[in-house]
Amino acid sequence: MSTAFNYKHLYYFWVVAKEGGISRAADKLDMAVQTVSAQVRELERSLGYALLKPAGRGLVLTDAGVAAMHQADHIFQLGEDLPARVRDAVSTPAVRLAVGISDGLPKLVVHRLLQPAMTEPNLRLLCHEGELDDLLGDLALHRLDVVLSDRPAPPNPNIKLYSHALGSSPIAWYGTAAMVQAATQDFPHSLAQVPLLLPTAHAAVRTRVDHWLEQRALRPRIVGEFEDSALLKTFGASGMGVFPAAEWVHDDLLARYAVQRLGPCEGVMEHFFAIGTEKKVKHPLVHRLLQATP
């Protein structure tokens, strides 16, 4: 890193990038436009690359700017965490569990998987949701204690990761009472006659559901695809369409969304994994999650 590198310059660039322009950043920082602009130019000079370029009435990141912004996000997130870390160090000791949650994993399943840890009286639970690759990167950097996912960690020669099976669940079709009534007769062929809601390819189960439909020569009318499983169920509960869900959380599903079970998605299973950096898990709460595996 250049000796001329200045974290204040990086912070001003970070705010400009987030606000989408120097004027808006200057208002947020309560500084003169010229001052903010000069600070960003100093950062670009010290790094040797242009980080921003004009786009319409605003600014956008260059390729170098994208890389700088990614690092700045990490740096200032750590800075925002600092007061809490210091406060925790002098307060009642807490058992901290930082969990990465793959965006393809159903939220009701996450709640059930974490139940064994919830009995810890001094628990401090930190949950971060995101794409699996990003979460595994944070795991490798020890920002997370464990990652919960609907698929095992992919092979990576640069990171040694271990996937621990937490269980699996058969999949069934659910919908409102009206949807279930419309599709009960001649199920599963009736699925070609009612609207369907499906998870996107972020969820590992999507490929299995597609294959199940193809095996039965069903050409469904897909009216919605959702990365967020809770959003999928919310739209399903509104009557937009029939949707697949893990029977593992059947009771919670009926209680929270007031839907009914239409029928099984025979042979389709959803699998759940805890991914860590240790073959023999040392974190007491992660060990507790594994011990509770059915």
Distance CA 217, CA 220 (A): 9
- CA distance linking residue 138 with residue 273, whole number of Å: 17
What proportion of the chain, given as a percentage, has pLDDT over 90? 60
Buried b (16+ CB within 10 A) or exposed e, 17-43: bebebbebbbeebeeeeeebbebbebb
Q: Which domains are present in the chain?
A: 7-87 (1.10.10.10), 95-167+273-291 (3.40.190.10), 168-269 (3.40.190.10)
Rounded distance between C-alpha atoms, residue 171 and residue 220, angstroms:
17
Averaged confidence pLDDT in the chain: 90
Chain centre to alpha carbon of residue 22: 31
Does the pLDDT value for residue 85 go beyond 60?
A: yes
Q: DSSP characters for 8-74?
A: HHHHHHHHHHHHTSHHHHHHHHT--HHHHHHHHHHHHHHHTS--EEEETTEEEE-HHHHHHHHHHHH
φ and ψ of 274, to 5 deg: -105, 120
217-234 pLDDT, tens digit each: 999 999 999 999 999 999
Q: Give pTM, 2 decimals.
A: 0.68
Pairing of strands 123-130, 95-102: parallel
Q: What is the pLDDT of residues 257-266, one digit of tens each?
A: 999 999 999 9
Half-sphere exposure of 203 (CA within 13 A, CB side): 27
CA distances from residue 93 to 87, 107, 242, 282 in whole angstroms, order as listed? 10, 28, 47, 18
Structure-block tokens of residue 22:
């120097």
